[in-house]
């Protein structure tokens, strides 16, 4: 298996060279209107997905790579919670080459799980090969992608297509959140949570308000180059989100960054806490007290703290959207912080070091 020609980034235009981060900043700020279309697309897709997902005893397996594996983790938790189905999240490459270690013989049984493949590009080799192999074995495949003309969209029985989430930048921002909002709305609809679905219609305005209220403060934190270590804490469905924003910090600013479920941080990783450490807590509602206690303990050990949550946090959403429908609100300000740290370090978040927009491999 050799790494074939990556999707070569086009040489930067004069203009792009002159304005590093131009695309990423725009893509982060444009998320509210992208989420509006994601909500609409999810509403339209609900009947076909309801038919394709079969009965509620059928397990669901979400796969993706990098950001879209983290999205799979978050989506698996959302569908578990909102549709009471048995769900799994597996990295595309693992599904392809280590399936038995992750799923035993689950995909060999008669009532095969439905595979939901998530990919911004719809071209990532591991994801495409995993889908093809599953279909060859008679499995049903659904897809979520920002590229309707992609190979993945063509392979899937049903696809949630979100072209408005397309972006120039390599590091995913609005592409990720468009697919997250779309899957969150689908899970609400499929689980019959009408009130939740209605409340989710307020997500775009809530995001706009957050960027206006807290953009300057999170930009300042991003520009504080005394900070060197970043730990993103998130539990339940917020763990996938914490993993994604941790990857953003890594990809955009080349910083040491790691995600943990909240209480896990005490079991070893907290040894790394010092005055150059920033702990970012994606607070839940149901367990906020325990989570805040972790942040308080680390602050006492010298760490800086940034907490985000509906209320009683440094960044408060005040969205009045139930917890199962407001996960997307953790994303924009943390993407914004990572982007400004990148710029403060003289990097270009539009073109992260070593990265390409799509990984293509020779897997034959």
Q: Which is nearer to ligand F1P, 170 or 196 (CB)?
A: 170
CB-nearest residue to ligand F1P: 66
Q: Tell me the closest approach of the beta carbon of residue 224 to ligand F1P, in angstroms.
A: 25
Q: Which is nearer to ligand F1P, 358 or 363 (CB)?
A: 358
Q: Which is nearer to ligand F1P, 65 or 77 (CB)?
A: 65
**Paired sense of beta strands 114-119 and 87-91, if any:** unpaired
Phi first, then psi: what are they for 199, rounded to 5°? -65, -35
Q: Which is nearer to ligand F1P, 92 or 281 (CB)?
A: 92
Joined together, the tokens standing for residue 128 give 């495409």
**Paired sense of beta strands 114-119 and 256-260, if any:** unpaired
Q: Tell me the closest approach of the beta carbon of residue 257 to ligand F1P, in angstroms.
A: 14
Q: Tell me the closest approach of the beta carbon of residue 169 to ligand F1P, in angstroms.
A: 9
- Please give the distance of CA 68 from its chain centroid, rounded to a whole number: 6
Q: Tell me the closest approach of the beta carbon of residue 181 to ligand F1P, in angstroms.
A: 16
Give start and end residues of each alpha helix (H) in 224-308: 238-253, 288-300
Q: HEC states along 292-361? A: HHHHHHHHHCCCEEEEEECCCCCEECCCCCCHHHCHHHHHHHHHHHHHHHHHHCCCCCCCCCCCCCCCCE
Q: Determine contact, residues 240/190, Cβ cutoff 8 Å.
A: no
Determine which helix (DSSP H) or strand (DSSP E) holds 105, and give its type and residue range: none
Q: Determine contact, residues 113/61, Cβ cutoff 8 Å.
A: yes
Q: Tell me the closest approach of the beta carbon of residue 20 to ligand F1P, in angstroms.
A: 18
Residues 6+ away with beta carbon under 8 Å from 241: 70, 74, 180, 234, 282, 327, 330, 331
Helix/strand/coil for 165: helix
Q: Tell me the closest approach of the beta carbon of residue 27 to ligand F1P, in angstroms.
A: 13
Q: Which is nearer to ligand F1P, 128 or 303 (CB)?
A: 128
Q: Tell me the closest approach of the beta carbon of residue 166 to ligand F1P, in angstroms.
A: 11
Q: Which is nearer to ligand F1P, 249 or 295 (CB)?
A: 249
What is the side-by-side order of every strand in the sheet holding 87-91? 87-91, 60-64, 114-119, 141-145, 158-161
Q: Give me the residues that bind ligand F1P (CB under 6 A), please.
A: 65-68, 119-121, 124, 127, 170-172, 355, 357-359
Q: Tell me the closest approach of the beta carbon of residue 172 to ligand F1P, in angstroms.
A: 5
Q: Which is nearer to ligand F1P, 69 or 260 (CB)?
A: 69
Q: Which is nearer to ligand F1P, 128 or 199 (CB)?
A: 128
């Amino acid at each position: 298996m050799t790494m074939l020609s990556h999707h070569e980034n086009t040489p930067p235009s004069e203009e792009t060279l002159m304005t590093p981060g131009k695309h990423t900043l725009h893509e982060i700020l444009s998320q509210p209107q992208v989420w509006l279309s994601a909500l609409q697309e999810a509403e339209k897709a609900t009947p076909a997905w309801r038919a394709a997902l079969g009965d509620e005893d059928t397990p669901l397996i979400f796969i993706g790579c990098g950001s879209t594996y983290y999205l799979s983790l978050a989506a698996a938790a959302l569908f578990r919670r909102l549709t009471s189905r048995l769900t799994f999240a597996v990295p595309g490459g693992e599904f392809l080459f280590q399936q038995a270690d992750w799923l035993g013989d689950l995909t060999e049984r008669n009532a095969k799980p439905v595979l939901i493949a998530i990919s911004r590009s719809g071209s990532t080799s591991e994801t495409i090969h995993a889908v093809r192999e599953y279909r060859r074995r008679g499995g049903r495949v659904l897809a979520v992608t920002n590229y309707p003309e992609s190979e993945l969209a063509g392979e899937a029985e049903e696809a949630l297509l979100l072209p408005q989430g397309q972006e120039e930048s390599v590091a995913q921002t609005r592409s990720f959140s468009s697919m997250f909002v779309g899957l969150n709305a689908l899970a609400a609809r499929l689980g019959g949570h009408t009130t939740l679905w209605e409340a989710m219609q307020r997500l775009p305005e809530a995001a706009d308000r957050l960027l206006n209220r807290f953009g300057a403060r999170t930009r300042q934190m991003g520009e504080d180059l005394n900070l060197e270590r970043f730990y993103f804490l998130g539990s339940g469905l917020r763990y996938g989100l914490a993993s994604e924003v941790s990857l953003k910090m890594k990809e955009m600013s080349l910083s040491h960054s790691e995600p943990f479920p909240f209480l896990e941080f005490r079991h070893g990783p907290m040894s790394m806490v010092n005055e150059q450490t920033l702990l970012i807590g994606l607070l839940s509602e149901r367990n906020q007290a325990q989570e805040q206690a972790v942040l308080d303990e680390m602050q006492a050990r010298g760490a800086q703290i940034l907490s985000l949550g509906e209320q009683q946090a440094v960044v408060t959403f005040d969205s009045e959207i139930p917890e199962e429908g407001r996960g997307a609100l953790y994303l924009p300000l943390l993407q914004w912080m990572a982007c400004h740290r990148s710029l403060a370090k003289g990097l270009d978040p539009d073109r992260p070091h070593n990265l390409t927009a799509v990984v293509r491999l020779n897997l034959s």
